[in-house]
Amino acid sequence: MAESIAFSKTQDRKTIYAEITPQIKSLIELETDTIANLANVAAVLKEAFGFFWVGFYLTKEDQLVLGPFQGTLACTRIDFDKGVCGHCYTTRETIIVPNVEEFPGHIACSSASKSEIVLPIFDKDGNVFGVLDVDSDKLDDFDKTDAEGLKKITELIEERL
Ligand code: SME
């Protein structure tokens, strides 16, 4: 298994997504344990982009429960109809929130978090297995490049579920 990932020291996220995605594929394809794979994906995203918070909330019975993450202390349970993560779970669609203070019901785990992107992750039956949540300490920090780049990464995770 690779002990490190390689990526350009650039601000161009499209380039970085293109570089890290095949490395994530190699990283997770030999490991069968989902939690171990999610932990490494969170680590790679945090290292490559320096995001404020990167992690997973996983569907457990009737809530989303905190899974592997990189960043500061986070709330552990989110109801399906609460927050940005719950909205993503319910709509089953990627959501970009440019200013979390303007999102009704946003759950503030940290006052440093200013913008957010959340993507659903589906299991083989089409149920929402969980969500990938990425937070930034800058306003309006996510766009189509992140939605597309992170979507490819969630698809790699889905292949390993
Ligand atoms: N802000 C999220 C909660 C999770 S934390 O950002 C880590 C939400 O509103 O769902």
pLDDT tens digit string along 144-159?
Answer: 999 999 999 999 999 9
Alpha carbon of 53 to ligand 1 centroid (Å)? 10
| CB 95 within 8 Å of CB 84 | yes
pLDDT band at 161 (very low <50, low <70, confident <90, very high): very high
User: What mean pLDDT, rounded, does the chain reach?
Assistant: 96
pLDDT band at 30 (very low <50, low <70, confident <90, very high): confident
In ligand 1, the atom with minimum distance to the C-alpha of 113 is 6
13-160: CATH topology? Beta-Lactamase (3.30.450)
Alpha carbon of 136 to ligand 1 centroid (Å)? 11
Beta-carbon contacts of 12 under 8 Å, excluding residues fewer than 6 positions away, are none
Token pair 């890290």 in the structure block, residue? 20
Domain ranges in the chain? 13-160
> Looking at the whole model, is its pTM more than 0.95?
yes
| CB 76 within 8 Å of CB 66 | yes
pLDDT tens digit sequence for 75-90: 999 999 999 999 999 9
* Beta partners for residue 54, in sequence order: 70, 134
Residue of minimum CA distance from atom 5 in ligand 1: 109
**DSSP 8-state symbol, 105:** T
Give me the pLDDT at residue 142, please. 98
pLDDT tens digit sequence for 87-127: 999 999 999 999 999 999 999 988 999 999 999 999 999 99
Give me the pLDDT at residue 9, please. 87
